Amino acid sequence: MMSKKSRAFLSLLASICILIISVIRLVGCTSDAPPGFTLKGTVKDAITGKPIAGARVSDDKYGSDPQKEATTDADGKYSYLTWYEEHNIIAQAPGYKTQRQTLMTKFLGEEKEKVMDFALVPE
């Protein structure tokens, strides 16, 4: 027969497990919603510091979600909507090496946008 302490401990353990599973499911389902997080920044030449027009900045492929992307303007600036979750971002342009950075977000944070700049190295 179980003691009162054992039953209380098992009850607490079960509650913690349910809470952890609920949080994991909540965080894991964020990509089902349309993207609402703005990622923006500038892509420049790592040697000259000049902006790179026409560079492509995109989400690295992950899961079954379609890739989100943007093309830089004449000032090397880009902006696009993506999901609020940690994933890789790729910047690439003809004549330059591709660069990857990880988009880091605060756990259950309230961030609405993030700036991520790239400095591409010529090939």
Residue 110 is predicted with a pLDDT of 73
Q: For residue 10, give Cα distances in angstroms to 19, 22, 90.
A: 14, 18, 46
Residue 29 is predicted with a pLDDT of 47
Non-local CB neighbours of 82 within 8 Å, separated by 6+ positions = 35, 37, 38, 39, 59, 68, 89, 103
Q: What is the pTM of this model?
A: 0.69
Query: C-alpha angle with apex 79: 106 to 71, nearest 5 degrees?
Result: 130
Domain ranges across the chain:
1-32, 33-120
- At the second CATH level, the architecture of 33-120 is Sandwich (2.60)
Residue 33 is predicted with a pLDDT of 62
Parallel, antiparallel or unpaired: strands 99-103 and 77-82: unpaired
Instruction: Tell me how far apart the alpha carbons of residues 79 and 83 are, in angstroms, rounded to a whole number.
Output: 13
Per-residue pLDDT of the chain (123 residues; tens, 9 = 90+): 678 887 888 888 888 878 787 665 555 544 456 677 899 999 999 999 999 999 999 998 766 666 789 999 999 999 999 888 888 999 999 999 999 999 887 766 677 889 999 999 999
Residue 62 is predicted with a pLDDT of 65
